[in-house]
Every structure is written in C-alpha cells, then in structure tokens.
Homo-oligomer: A and B are copies of this chain.
Amino acid sequence: MLIPAGDNRQRYVCDACGMVHYQNPNVVTGCIPEWDDRILLCKRAIEPRFGTWTLPAGFMENGESSMFGAAREAREEANAEVQRLTLFCVFSIPHINQVYTMYRGELHQGEASPGDESLEVMLASEDEVPWNELSFPVIIETLKLYYEDRQAGQFSTHYGEIIKLDQRSIRVEHY
C-alpha cells in the first residue's frame, strides 16, 4: 500500500508494473416489482442469508445502466419482466462499501417463477410481507419507505444511509 503521485490515499500498487488497483464501492441495483396491490419477493437460494426473503437485486454490471440492471436482476432471480421503472430509493451502506439503487416497476402480467438464485417467489400483499425473515436491513428499510409512501398516496425518491454501530446494531438515517 502506498500513496500514488497526485493522490491522497493509500492504494494497492503492483510492485512489478506500478499499476494502481483502486478499490471503490459497488452499486447494488434492484427493484420492487408491483402487481395490483402486491409486490414480488424472492427466497434466497444462495448465501449470504440463504432461505430469507428479499427483493430482486444484485451487483450492477459494466455496460448497463442501474435501471437496466434492476430489471435484469428481476429476470435472473424471478423470471420476471419489470417495466416502467422509476427510481424509488438510494441507500449508502459505508461499512460494506455498497450503494443500493432501488426502483419501483410494473411486474408484467404478474408472472414470476424462481430463477437459479431463488428457492421460491411470492406475490405478497402488505400483510403477507415476512418482516422477520427479510434478508438485509436495506430491504427492510426500502419496504418500510414503500408502504409509508403508498399509505400517503404519493411516491417520492428517497436517500438514506445505513450505519453500522457495532456487531449487533445499525442506525438508519434519512435525508
């Protein structure tokens, strides 16, 4: 680790060729597929959090937009086509170097089935959401905002941060 010329941070630099290997946050992109008053959830067939429920989401890939990536994840994880996406929330999670971009979108014809990374899928009404079996804090916070906005009769776009306090607790900030 050393500080390259013109930089102000320690970076991994190859001893042999001098190439700087930057390590930067990743974008995780996903969506809330909507069908009537229901939303699509997927039961994870992969670690971490195998067997818990989540929204379709995954690492954004090079060459795609974050919105296209969100639709791709729904296709891969739930054989679902999601259309007319709009940005719903952005969450920064500094302790794991991730930024989530989550979209709302229409689930085409309400059709979905488990993809390779899912054990099951469900179209959940609000009272069917398995709040105690959701995969990650960011999924819980996204769905809380979603039902708050739906209750209020108006969706807006949100930004928040999920801050790790210690091994067992987090703090959520909304801006």
Contact = CB atoms under 8 A, between A and B. Distances in A.
Given A87-B175, A99-B101, A25 B60 contact: yes
Interface residues of A, number: 35
A113 interface: no
Copy tally for this chain in the complex stands at: 2
Contacts of A90: 66, 87, 90, 101
A22 B61 CA distance: 9
A35 interface: no
A92 interface: yes
A161 interface: yes
15 contacts: A24-B61, A25-B61, A25-B66, A27-B27, A63-B95, A64-B94, A66-B90, A66-B99, A67-B92, A67-B161, A85-B175, A87-B90, A87-B159, A156-B157, A157-B159
Interface of A: 8-9, 22-27, 59-68, 76, 85-87, 90, 92, 94-95, 97, 99, 101, 156-159, 161, 175
